[in-house]
Structure 1
């Protein structure tokens, strides 16, 4: 197949990080927009992107984009696209949709029109009137924005944040994709210590270990496109072999986490064991006030409790104050905190070297970055 247009979706604020990851995979022809990065690749790129992208949500095939102010325009534009090139006779092809600032505002109606148009296109190609839809799954999305319809095929399935190692969760866990983003933004290097004093279910330490050892985040899971005939099993095998060969686990990691909740630590230990990293990560039950990271310098990366979803705001504020007190003893460490609090600089006792707006779910947060005295740590876009 000729060059395929692919889209990596991501939360607002992470576009530059996802774009960097795509470039590191060898795909440089890309366009960065709010919440998505469009790039060109081939069938192997679909495999590699799903296996390797740490901070993206999904990898989509861009089927087409066109103006659609009326149902007729939506129908004809959809029908003109090469659906039979991707979807076999037996394929299951549900249609999802969303609409924003468009004349076609009824999402169910748009889904129905798109489904009907695809069926008509497939009737022409396969010379049959009915399709069983009992084969591989091809989730189609029609996204309308300012009267422009974007139609895509989802190659991923369950969101990329679902790595496969977290069988249990705590309340309001940090997504794996966001944890990876915090680490990549920190400029942490695997030969240096990393510590999370509010580790919860252990997502930041586990993601850090995977980054440190260059473990592809998708190695322990499967993707929708693995069942598509258009992408051969050989390509998936090639991409997985490349990922296994890229693992660098021949040096020790200095990664630790602590939390005041014993149940959270149990969940963190289970996640580390499931990820094959139990021997490399240290977890302890400890209030933040007693946290003392080991090492002369390193990165403290954390997502403290917000108080908005988990109860008492006073407790969340006290936790931030305690964190500020702990950092007084860590002047050679770089401190990275994701929080909706506007008082983080006050608690730390100095202005942040850098702040970045990020969304943890629907909560607007700032990623406060306080660089330590060590020259190894500096800003990263």
Structure 2
């Protein structure tokens, strides 16, 4: 397999973040649309993107693009693709799909037709027996404005499944979104980071992995690793690269607080699974007791949203308390991700910047309050000359 065309899916609003990650991997020529970033690269990019991308949902390998104005055209174009090059006789090939602004919009019907069209092609090649007892080659299609693109899902399960989170608290933040919140902040590994409502520890764990340059996919497997048409050495080489990049040098402290000692135990277990337990200081603490003597830190947190009527007052109290206890922290920067439009009113301050992001189907806002820059980050002032 030579050059391939890949599509990286992501949460709406994170296309630029994924794009920067791809540029850091060396893939700079990109096309971005809502929730997707596409590019062409050598086949080794499949393994590297699965292993290294922190904010992506899945890595899709494009195998066809064609008009889909009616069901016959849709079926025939799918059947004409060389499925035998990708799908062995006994492979499982589950189908997912989506349709937007198109004549064909009944997704369950389209999924069934896709499955039937693929089976029709494979039966011509292999014979009528397709046991589907082997490994998975997941298929995904998307129809936009009457044009269909069809991919193979090289990731399998979503890339948020890092392999470290065995248990989670109520309404957990996905690992990919937590990583995005960190990358959209001003935090760097030489500045203290604090999450005063850490829950199961996703934000501090993702920060520690970023600081250590631990590839997020290092402790999991991917669907494409089993495929015959993807050379095994691309996965081996990518994992070797990931191990070589890990940074064990000294890093500023990462602090994770929560009032619930039970969820803190889960957070510690998750950090241990991620290999960053020694980098995070977990502490049981009520938010009202929060203090710090550190300067120039970064607070990143995902407080309660107050989405349910019986939770609204509690959430607003949390926002007000957070504002009260950090009121004198002028040298800190605050990054607060919450699904509530009235957050600023109860927090008592207008954000320096706001960014709309989605947590699942819920529209949220990332409120960003920028504090003073550390001396090392300030631009030197020009000396006045006589």
2:88 paired residue number: 88
1:238 paired residue number: 237
Q: TM-score, normalised by structure 2?
A: 0.93
Cα distance in 2 between the residues matched to 1:254 and 1:85: 50
Cα distance in 2 between the residues matched to 1:241 and 1:235: 10
Residues 78 and 185 of structure 1, relative CA distance in 2, 3 Å threshold: same
Residue 352 of structure 1 deviates from its aligned partner by 1.5
SS of the residue aligned with 2:105? coil
Deviates more, 1:105-114 or 1:29-38: 105-114
Deviates more, 1:225-234 or 1:327-336: 225-234
2:381 paired residue number: none
1:315 paired residue number: 314
SS of the residue aligned with 1:168? coil
Cα distance in 2 between the residues matched to 1:26 and 1:354: 29
Work out whether residues 195 and 293 of structure 1, in 8 Å CA contact, stay in contact via their aligned partners in 2: no
Residue 231 of structure 1 deviates from its aligned partner by 1.6
2:66 paired residue number: 66
1:352 paired residue number: 351
Cα distance in 2 between the residues matched to 1:101 and 1:343: 33
Q: Over the residues paired in the alignment, what is the CA RMSD in angstroms?
A: 1.8
Residue 189 of structure 1 deviates from its aligned partner by 0.7
Cα distance in 2 between the residues matched to 1:73 and 1:133: 26
Cα distance in 2 between the residues matched to 1:108 and 1:221: 30
Do structure 1's residue 184 and structure 2's residue 183 form an aligned pair? yes
The total of aligned residue pairs comes to: 377
Cα distance in 2 between the residues matched to 1:203 and 1:127: 46
The aligned runs of 1:135-146 (5 Å cut-off) are 135-146=134-145
Please, which runs of 5 or more residues in structure 2 have no aligned partner?
A: 379-386
Deviates more, 1:91-100 or 1:323-332: 91-100
Residue 80 of structure 1 deviates from its aligned partner by 2.7
Cα distance in 1 between the residues matched to 2:242 and 2:335: 29
Residues 173 and 6 of structure 1, relative CA distance in 2, 3 Å threshold: same
Work out whether residues 345 and 352 of structure 1, in 8 Å CA contact, stay in contact via their aligned partners in 2: yes
Residues 279 and 311 of structure 1, relative CA distance in 2, 3 Å threshold: farther
Work out whether residues 209 and 253 of structure 1, in 8 Å CA contact, stay in contact via their aligned partners in 2: no
Please, which runs of 5 or more residues in structure 1 have no aligned partner?
A: none
Residues 131 and 288 of structure 1, relative CA distance in 2, 3 Å threshold: same
2:35 paired residue number: 35
Do structure 1's residue 117 and structure 2's residue 125 form an aligned pair? no
Deviates more, 1:74-83 or 1:55-64: 74-83
Deviates more, 1:188-197 or 1:300-309: 300-309
Cα distance in 1 between the residues matched to 2:306 and 2:158: 27
Cα distance in 2 between the residues matched to 1:367 and 1:263: 28
Residue 358 of structure 1 deviates from its aligned partner by 0.5
Q: TM-score, normalised by structure 1?
A: 0.94
Work out whether residues 171 and 310 of structure 1, in 8 Å CA contact, stay in contact via their aligned partners in 2: no
Residue 377 of structure 1 deviates from its aligned partner by 7.3
Residue 123 of structure 1 deviates from its aligned partner by 3.6
